[in-house]
Chains A and B, each alone.
Chain A
Amino acid sequence: MTDKNSSQNLASIAEVEDAKLAGSDAAPLSQGKLVFKRFMRHKPAMISSVILIVVILVAITSIGIGGIPGWWPIDYKKTSISVDGGAPSAEHWFGQDDLGRDYFGLVMSGTQASLIIAFLVGITGTVLGTLLGALAGYFRGWVDAVIMRIADIFFVVPLLLIAAIIAKGASGFINSPWFLGIMLGVVSWAGLARLVRAQVLSLREREYVDAARAMGASSWRIILKHLIPNAIGTVLVNATLAIAAAVLLETALSFLGFGVRPPNSSLGLLISDYQNSFTTRPWLFWWPGLMILIVALSVNFIGDGLRDAFDPRQGGRIKRRNLIAAGLMGPSAVDVPSAADRAAAGAADPVERTGSASLLEAVEVQDAVEESKQQPDGDSSPPGGRHASGADPDTDPESGPDNEGQRS
């Protein structure tokens, strides 16, 4: 149909595209790398990551963990004489409690416990929720019915009740942070399972899943290799939010006496133990409260950054500076970043475009149009039938920024 020997002056889209591909020397970027790049540009998330890492490192190295001694010289379990009414000092950074114990050490051990619980909840809940949600979404039918009814049960039974029942018979290992973390994870998977199920229900209709089935791939392969990796955005964002929620939940449970119990410690337990000292020794209350605040806040910001990184089209953030520059001096005035950055803007989104055509700048125009237009529903399957121009800039003015579908 095409005469391959005719003019070589790039008068066909196919040639422009091939020339672009051959000419692009940018290192290939996986979706993971693109997401990471965008995450790195999210300032609150980056600052929060640094803070969280510092908190974790300090909590672990200061008093040591599992018998390995840390750099903090004072044994927080030993009582001694209160210096200056136990107020914070150069020797006791966070002060001392009413028995003269070093409060820095106590808070650090509480932080350790709270972090262990938070991450255990995050990991257990995420693994369970993702697997069960994916199974329910992929197999549908009775598998779906059974899993989702179990999820419904976890939704309707109050968490406090479950925690109280378990705490009643608690002793030994039962009231350690490890057990509490796993237990809370086991009861908090239902929300994520619903989200993953919904995502898998739409992903399983994609043609690459059909392609895998047609080539004889097993259900496990499809779930583990195709479905879960493509739902990873939802999963990761919700895992971080679950961690943040778990910090607060542990605090509440321990404060009420259902969570971690002595001799173990946690931030919630510290607040509970010293609630009466609020008027006399307010620092006993403030320090664990501050740690909770820092951890919960930074994890939340990280989740925020992850969400933006996975779904760059949310929020239509166009730099004012660029708009003004283009308005005053024409498009040439706008700084154009590297090819990799441009790719980052257009791709890596779990949302797929119909038959995208990346020809020179046209594709970037298309990205710009789409980025501002925002898909009302990222998972809407591509239009079937005869879309010979499915790759058009497809500027549908109906979908204004208001009908944005929240994706996670």
Chain B
Amino acid sequence: MSTLEKSNVTKGDVVLEFQDLRVDFVSDDGAKQAVKGLNLTVRAGEVVALVGESGSGKSVTSLSAMGLLPPNAMTRGKVNVTGHQVVGMREDKLRALRATEIAMVFQEPMTALNPVLTVERQMTESLESHNLAYGEEATARAVALLERVGIPDAAKRIKQYPHQFSGGQRQRIVIAMALTCGPKVIIADEPTTALDVTVQAEVLDLLRELKDDLGVGILLITHNMGVVADMADRVSVMFLGELVEQGTVEQILYRPQHPYTQRLLASVPRLTDVALTHEDQVGARAAEAQAAVGEAADLVLTVKDVAIDYKVRSGVFRAAEGVSFDVYKRGTTALVGESGSGKSTVAKAVLGLIPTASGRLEISGQNLPSLKGKAARTARRQIGVVFQDPAASLDPRFPIGDCVMEPMVVHKVGSKADRIKRAKELLDAVKLPSDVINRYPHELSGGQKQRVGIARALSLDPTLLVADEPTSALDVSVQAVVLEMLKELQAEFGFACLFVSHDLAVVDHLADQVVVMRRGQVVEQGATERILHFPQEEYTKELLAAAPVPDPDAQRIRREARHQLRL
């Protein structure tokens, strides 16, 4: 660890400063302002969070500090990196600045690392190109850094390729790479967005430690208010290219002044009152919550002991095993878990998109996997589906009306006029103007597309709606609108809902039954109230403790609780 120098700045020095930064993008179709006059300072030893939704210009801001904007970007104003004015700087000077003064941690660790080079090669590259260390010395430094960021057996593993590390480890490597040349300021652009919550919590812990140990300044770009509460000292909120509000994390999260910040915070789903440590209350309230399960007559979907196999090169991979749960009329059952837990696999099996290896999937008493041909089609009519990615779930060549009417066309329901009438009703139900019927998906935003997806799912009046991460690709404020709409529609149409999500706070708002999955198996299941507020299993507790809440004080307590859980 001796090779890891503390950066030679004192706490409180300004390491990154934006003065009236303006960025315009120029294209054939004119110029568009991405950042409209931004003022922001990052001091050594502090974390400044830059928060905003899509199109707020937060990523553009961070790239301007690195001098990495595309050639059609016009940058004006001042960007000071440890006293060097970056705007208009020559490329070779900029290169000298990168890694030694300012470094970046990217969102997607898999694409930030080159898959065909060993970790060693990639880590020593910047040391060598900045004439800081060569050969064995460079490798020694890199190994020390990897140890520092928590890669076990670093001397050996440094010879491996990125794919041989897990997602969390890859992000640690990316962080180590950012640190190789001892930068004074690090820009972390959504560093944990691509990671599971438990891994996210660990990576955030690491970043916090590094900030304290090395005294670097961190500009944290994120959309996640929980991450902000967990990490940030000061917060700046951007909306449509403008800085609408800035202040300390307590000021912003507890007493937001600007209406945008207020609305943004109001849209963040919160999961509170989780009994992680005090087991005493569990008994009474759990039993009480358990009683609220629906009656057998209202049973819509029964999943019984289902196993699902994937064919892989080396044989068969069991993606899910022994999964059993029920979905009741007007009820919502949520499948939660991290990536690889098999939650989406189960949902796909319910939709009939992948075959089951054993077990029963009964909808209205019929076992779906055993149905053939026409019977299967009729049974499927009862199931509607909403997918995760609104951009991919609508055929770009279909007008919105045709998208919504497609299920009716496939099942030959009604005349053309009937279908159009129904499509208009459905679009009205999801609060879209009925003239969108002639528009095309590319003219709509992500949230609007997702509403079209919901309208399509409801067009045959399904008894069961399968929603596979329907809001995870959306901004929080848009997510709030879509979730609220789902709730209203369920009350109106009375369908049962199988809701797949990784976001426990969303699930808490929507579901009345929760099934927690891990590695293809059910860890814990039962009423939402019991699972999410009085969890019994360690894994569920860990999941709950790892999800950050947008409240700095509460988050500090949770963080400590989580550290205790891990011990």
Q: Which of A332-348 contact B (CB under 8 A)?
A: 334-337, 341-343, 345-348
Residues of A within 8 A of B31 (CB): 322, 326, 331, 334, 336
User: B111–A396 contact, CB under 8 A?
Assistant: yes
Contact with B along A366-387 (1 / 0, CB 8 A): 1111011100000001111111
Stretch of A58-66, A105-113, A211-219, A273-281 lying at the B interface: A211-219
Expressed in whole angstroms, the minimum distance between the Cβ of A384 and any Cβ of chain B is 7
Interface residue? A84 (CB, 8 A): no
Given contacts A364-B29, A368-B25, A372-B72, contact A12 B263 (CB under 8 A): yes
User: What are the 6 A-B residue pairs with the smallest beta carbon separation, nearest first?
Assistant: A362-B55, A347-B442, A368-B25, A331-B31, A391-B54, A355-B446
B345 to chain A, nearest CB (A): 13
The answer to whether A352 has its CB under 8 Å from any CB of chain B is yes
In the bound complex, what is the Cα–Cα distance between A100 and B453 (angstroms)? 71
Which chain B residue lies CB-closest to A397? B68
Residue in A319, A347, A355 with the greatest tally of chain B CB atoms within 10 Å? A355
User: Does B474 make an interface contact (CB < 8 A)?
Assistant: yes
Which B residues are in CB contact (< 8 Å) with A230?
A: 395-397
Instruction: Assess whether A5 is interfacial by the CB under 8 Å rule.
Output: no
Q: Are B436 and A6 in contact (CB under 8 A)?
A: no
- A sample of 7 inter-chain contacts (CB < 8 A) reads A1-B266, A214-B383, A221-B410, A326-B74, A330-B24, A359-B55, A385-B194
B453 nearest in chain A by CB position: A211
With both beta carbons as reference points, the residue of chain B lying nearest to A230 in the complex is identified as B397
Contact in complex: A387, B263 (CB < 8 Å): no
The answer on a CB contact under 8 Å between A359 and B445 is yes
Residue of A7, A226, A391, A396 with most partner-chain B CB within 10 A: A391
Q: How far is the CA of A394 from the CA of B25 in the complex (A)?
A: 14
Pair A229/B29 contact, Cβ less than 8 Å: no
Asked whether A92 is an interface residue with its Cβ less than 8 Å from the other chain, the reply is no
Least CB distance, A166 to chain B, in whole angstroms: 39
Q: Is there contact, CB below 8 Å, between A389 and B223?
A: yes
* Contact residues in A for B395 (Cβ distance below 8 Å): 208, 212, 225-226, 229-230
- Which residue of chain A has its CB nearest to the CB of B390? A355
Given A30-B399, A382-B391, A216–B377 Cβ distance below 8 Å?
A: yes
Chain B residues packing against A (C-beta within 8 Å): 24-34, 53-60, 63, 66, 68-74, 106, 108, 111-112, 190, 193-196, 223-224, 239-241, 258-260, 262-264, 266-267, 269, 339, 348, 351-353, 376-377, 380-381, 383, 385, 387-397, 399, 406-407, 410-411, 431-433, 436, 438-440, 442-449, 453, 456, 460, 466, 469, 472-481, 483-484, 502-503, 509
Could you tell me the distance between the alpha carbons of A393 and B63 in the complex, rounded to whole angstroms?
A: 11
A31 interfacial by beta-carbon distance below 8 Å: yes
Residue with the highest number of chain A CB atoms closer than 10 Å, among B224, B259, B381, B383: B259
A residues less than 8 Å from B59 (CB atoms): 392-395
Most buried by B among A29, A359, A373, A398: A359
Given A318-B72, A368-B25, A386-B193, 8 further pairs, Cβ under 8 A:
A210-B348, A216-B381, A221-B410, A326-B26, A345-B28, A365-B34, A368-B72, A397-B68
B262 A322 Cβ-Cβ under 8 A: no
Contact of A361 with B by CB under 8 A:
yes
Name A394's closest neighbour in chain B (CB-CB).
Answer: B59
A353 sits at the interface (CB 8 A): yes
Residues of chain A lying within 8 A (CB to CB) of residue B475:
13, 357, 388-389, 391
A80 within 8 A of B: no
CA–CA, A18 and B432, complex, Å: 8
Instruction: Select one of B30, B396, B411 contacting A336, CB under 8 A.
Output: B30
Which residues from chain B contact A395 at a C-beta distance below 8 Å?
59-60, 63, 68-70
Also in contact, A386 and B194, with CB within 8 A (given A14-B478, A22-B433, A395-B69): yes
Q: Which of A6, A348, A369, A390 contacts B60 (CB 8 A)?
A: A369
Q: Does A168 contact B (CB under 8 A)?
A: no
Q: Is the CB of B54 within 8 A of A397?
A: no
B448–A17 CB distance below 8 A: yes
Contact yes or no, A216 B444, CB < 8 A: no
Q: Which residues of A contact B194 (CB under 8 A)?
A: 383, 385-387
Q: How far is the CB of B149 from chain A (nearest CB, A)?
A: 21
Question: Could you tell me if B33 and A389 are in contact, using CB atoms closer than 8 angstroms?
Answer: no
B391 proximity list for chain A (CB < 8 A): 352-356, 382
CB distance from B163 to the nearest CB of A (A): 17
Residues 312-334 of chain A, each 1 if its beta carbon lies under 8 Å from chain B, else 0: 00001111001100110011001
Cβ-based interface call for A83 (8 A): no
Cβ A393 vs Cβ B30 within 8 A: no
In the assembled complex, the CB of B159 is this many whole angstroms from the nearest CB of chain A, namely 24
Partner of A341, one of B29, B33, B266, B509: B29
Select which of A17, A208, A323, A335 is within 8 A of B392 by beta carbon.
A208
Asked if A9 is an interface residue, CB under 8 A from chain B, the answer is yes
Question: Is A3 an interface position by the 8 A CB rule?
Answer: yes
* A187 vs chain B, min Cβ distance (A): 31
**Complex alpha-carbon distance, A323 and B30, angstroms:** 9
Residue of A whose beta carbon sits closest to that of B352: A214
Nearest B residue to A367 via CB reads B27
Cβ-based interface call for A79 (8 A)? no
Complex-state Cα separation, A24 to B432, whole angstroms: 13
Q: Which residues of B contact A360 (CB under 8 A)?
A: 240
Q: Is the CB of A331 within 8 A of B456?
A: no
Asked if A2 is at the interface of the complex by the 8 Å CB criterion, the answer is: yes
- Interface residue A188 (Cβ < 8 Å from any Cβ of B): no
A326 to B73, CA, bound (A): 10
Contact among A229, A353, A368 for B26, CB-based, below 8 A:
A368
**Residue A245 at the chain B interface, CB threshold 8 Å:** no
Cα A1 to Cα B271 with chains together (Å): 12
Known: A322-B26, A337-B29. A214 touches B385 (CB 8 A): yes
Shortest CB-to-CB span from B343 to chain A, Å, is 12
- Known A-B contacts A7-B259, A357-B445; the reply to A393 vs B55 at CB < 8 A is yes
CB pair A216 B411 closer than 8 Å: yes
Asked if B392 and A365 sit within 8 Å, CB to CB, the answer is no
- B481's partner among A2, A20, A390 (CB-CB below 8 A) is A2
B392 touches A382 (CB 8 A): yes
Q: Nearest CB to that of A29 among chain B residues?
A: B440
| Chain B residue with Cβ nearest A364 | B32
- Please tell me if the beta carbons of B241 and A362 are within 8 angstroms of each other in the complex: yes
Q: Say whether A210 contacts B353, CB under 8 Å.
A: yes
Instruction: Indicate whether A212 sits within 8 Å of B34 (C-beta atoms), given known contacts A13-B53, A388-B193.
Output: no
A216 to B453, CA, bound (A): 16
Q: Which residues on A sit within 8 Å (CB–CB) of B71?
A: 372
A65 vs B24: C-alpha distance when bound (angstroms): 58
With contacts A30-B397, A367-B27, A386-B502 known, is A347 near B443, CB below 8 A?
A: yes
Q: Is A263's beta carbon under 8 Å from chain B?
A: no
Minimum C-beta distance from A337 to chain B (A): 6
Residues of A within 8 A of B269 (CB): 1
Interface 1/0 per residue, A224-246 and B, CB below 8 Å: 01100110000000000000000
Contact of B376 among A207, A216, A342, A384 (CB under 8 A): A216
The answer to whether residues A347 and B440 also contact, given A2-B484, A364-B29, A372-B27 and a CB cut-off of 8 A, is: yes
> What residues of chain A lie closer than 8 Å to B473, measured between beta carbons?
354-355, 382, 387-388, 390-391
- Give the chain A neighbours of B196 by CB distance below 8 A: 386
**Cα of A29 to Cα of B439 in the assembled complex, Å:** 7
Contact between B26 and A215, CB atoms less than 8 A apart: no
Q: Which of B223, B392, B443 contacts A388 (CB 8 A)?
A: B223
Q: Does A28 contact B (CB under 8 A)?
A: yes
Whether B259 and A9, one on each chain, are in contact in the complex, defined by CB atoms closer than 8 angstroms, is yes
| Cβ of A157 under 8 Å from chain B | no
Contact A384 B241 (CB under 8 A): no
- Asked if A17 and B478 make an inter-chain contact with CB atoms under 8 angstroms apart, the answer reads yes
* A371-B28 Cα distance, complex, nearest whole Å: 10
